[in-house]
């Protein structure tokens, strides 16, 4: 039975956590201050420490540093409110195993604790010369997949864990930029095929006439321009996984060819009489409604059912609001490495702007914004002045108010200015008037902005 130390100054909450973890098979000791915690770690050995980020006689960051010095092989998990998530993410860079945000999600708590204990067993008491190298390899092996804490992310992780060990065909559905290929890679890495190739294909970029050659290969001289034999994607992925992104873009003829290959598990290169047996797992992705495409006759129903043995929703960034700062920090670290920078983090103002923005381009847009801002930043923190202008524009949703001066003119002007953070040019665009007219109306209503 793993022994856990929970450090939390809120006695009632601490007892609640203790009861929950005990019920789930852990031996729990509690401490209500940093001093009491250090006293207990000096006299007893624990497999895991959970500490609040804010304590009456210390703070989680300071305590983390002390624990990593005195107890280097004991994982420390931070407990933090949502407003402190940015700090908690930075704590991970300083040695924290993970963090849990309040209010707690019971499933999340158990997952974080179990993973921290598992990783601690893998790396406990390693040889000094091997410690850094081994940890780096583990981190890089999952470098593109970020495990979020939002309900949508927790559900996504559960589905990936459930479907990965099987050979079921998976259809990943989600908006552009939500990381569908990363999800497919994660499924492949967690599958029994992980030693074999993972081949990603963007179906939207393949011309109709060349699709058969791209998928199944061709022999020399089979058509004009076929100067050499070519191995297709299916044969290249043999034994592994083939990922077909934006599969809804395939022509009807290409869908027929793909269906035949999936049914027979054999491919015939263009211009060849020889069939080649292939053993592959297929993962597909789309940002379209394929069911509607089937109804309209644009997508074959039999192919749809063949690729959709199990579907996974790739959540948008708006559905993963709790994960925004986690992803931003991940992209910042990645950008620092790529651009040879040492930017520490984001200013509080930038964090607020990030949280208020709708992110229509999802994770891809966030990654691009962070990378661009990292390049332009000369100080330690990313500030407002290096952010692209689109972050200050309003992207109305279907259920949001459409600004109009026909009714409640004064209120509409005030609301437009608030949403554009007093940017009069953007407010004027939102109100569908020119800047001079806006100034005249500000003067008329005696509004000072």
72-86, 153-167, 428-442, range with greatest mean pLDDT: 153-167
Share of the chain above pLDDT 90, in %: 40
- Rounded to the nearest integer, the mean pLDDT of the chain is 83
Alpha-carbon separation of residue 292 from 13, 193, 301 (angstroms): 49, 33, 10
Class of domain 3-141: alpha beta
Question: In the structure, what pLDDT confidence band is assigned to residue 28 with cuts at 50, 70 and 90?
Answer: very high
Residue 18, number of CB atoms within 10 A of its CB: 17
Write down the number of H helices and E strands in the chain. Answer: 19, 16
Per-residue pLDDT for 309 more than 90?
Answer: yes
Work out the burial of residue 308: count CB atoms within 10 Å of its CB; fewer than 13 is exposed, 13-18 middle, 19 or more buried: middle
Averaged pLDDT for residues 330-341: 91
The dihedrals phi and psi of 234, each to the nearest 5 degrees, come to -65, -45
Please give the pLDDT value at position 13: 82
Averaged pLDDT for residues 296-307: 93
What are the tokens at 321? 């609001």
Per-residue pLDDT for 384 more than 80?
Answer: yes
Cis peptide before 65 (omega within 30 of 0): no
Per-residue pLDDT for 247 more than 60?
Answer: yes
Ranges for all domains in the chain classified under CATH 3.40.50.2300: 3-141
Question: In the structure, what pLDDT confidence band is assigned to residue 58 with cuts at 50, 70 and 90?
Answer: confident
Per-residue pLDDT for 359 more than 90?
Answer: yes
Q: Which of 113-127, 146-160, 379-393 has the lowest mean pLDDT?
A: 113-127
Work out the burial of residue 355: count CB atoms within 10 Å of its CB; fewer than 13 is exposed, 13-18 middle, 19 or more buried: exposed
Distance CA 170, CA 311 (A): 6
User: For the whole prediction, is pTM greater than 0.75?
Assistant: no
164 DSSP assignment: T
Nearest residue to 279 via CA among 185, 196, 213, 215: 196
Ranges for all domains in the chain classified under CATH 1.10.8.60: 317-392
Please give the pLDDT value at position 1: 85
Ranges for all domains in the chain classified under CATH 3.40.50.300: 151-313
Bridge partners of 172? 285, 312
The dihedrals phi and psi of 74, each to the nearest 5 degrees, come to -100, 115
Please give the pLDDT value at position 422: 80
Class of domain 317-392: mainly alpha
284 DSSP assignment: E
Distance CA 261, CA 201 (A): 16
Please give the pLDDT value at position 93: 64
Q: Which residue has the higher pLDDT, 73 or 396?
A: 73
Averaged pLDDT for residues 54-64: 81
Please give the pLDDT value at position 133: 25
**Per residue in 340-351, pLDDT tens?**
999 988 998 899
Please give the pLDDT value at position 401: 44
Out of 3.40.640.10, 3.40.50.300, 3.30.420.40, 3.30.360.10, select the CATH number for domain 151-313: 3.40.50.300
């Amino acid at each position: 039975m793993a022994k856990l130390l929970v450090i939390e100054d809120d006695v009632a909450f601490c007892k609640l956590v203790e009861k929950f973890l005990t019920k789930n098979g852990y031996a729990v000791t509690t401490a209500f201050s940093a001093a009491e915690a250090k006293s207990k770690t000096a006299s007893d050995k624990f497999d895991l420490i959970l500490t609040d980020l804010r304590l009456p006689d210390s703070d989680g960051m300071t305590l983390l540093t002390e624990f990593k010095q005195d107890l280097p092989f004991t994982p420390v998990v931070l407990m933090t409110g949502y407003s402190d998530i940015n700090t908690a993410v930075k704590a991970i860079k300083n040695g924290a195993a993970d963090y849990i945000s309040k209010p707690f999600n019971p499933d999340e708590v158990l997952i974080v604790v179990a993973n921290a204990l598992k990783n601690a067993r893998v790396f406990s008491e390693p040889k000094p010369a091997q410690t850094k190298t081994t940890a780096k390899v583990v981190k890089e092996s999952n470098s593109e997949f970020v495990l979020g804490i939002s309900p949508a992310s927790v559900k996504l992780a559960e589905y990936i864990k459930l479907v990965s060990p099987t050979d079921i065909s998976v259809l990943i559905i989600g908006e552009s930029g939500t990381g569908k290929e990363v999800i497919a890679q994660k499924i492949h890495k967690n599958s029994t095929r992980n030693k074999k190739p993972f081949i990603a294909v963007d179906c939207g970029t393949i011309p109709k006439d060349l699709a058969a050659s791209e998928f199944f290969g061709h022999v020399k001289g089979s058509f004009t321009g076929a100067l050499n034999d070519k191995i297709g994607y299916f044969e290249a992925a043999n034994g592994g996984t083939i990922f077909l992104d934006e599969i809804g873009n395939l022509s009807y003829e290409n869908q027929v060819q793909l269906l035949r290959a999936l049914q027979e598990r054999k491919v015939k290169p263009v211009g060849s009489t020889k069939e080649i047996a292939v053993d592959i797992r297929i993962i597909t992705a789309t940002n379209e409604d394929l069911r509607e495409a089937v109804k309209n006759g644009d997508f074959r129903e039999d192919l749809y059912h063949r690729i959709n043995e199990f579907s996974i929703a790739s959540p948008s960034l708006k559905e993963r609001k709790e994960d925004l700062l986690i992803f931003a920090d991940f992209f910042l670290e990645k950008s620092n490495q790529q651009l040879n920078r040492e930017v520490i983090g984001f200013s509080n103002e930038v964090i607020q702007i990030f949280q208020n923005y709708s992110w229509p381009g999802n994770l891809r847009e966030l990654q691009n914004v962070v990378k661009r801002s990292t390049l332009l930043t000369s100080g330690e923190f990313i500030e407002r002045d290096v952010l692209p202008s689109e972050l200050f524009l309003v992207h109305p949703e279907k259920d949001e108010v459409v600004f109009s001066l026909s009714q409640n003119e004064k209120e509409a002007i005030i609301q437009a200015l608030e949403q554009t953070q007093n940017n009069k040019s953007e407010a004027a665009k939102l109100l569908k008037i020119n800047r001079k007219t806006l100034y005249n109306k500000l003067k008329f209503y005696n509004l000072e902005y």
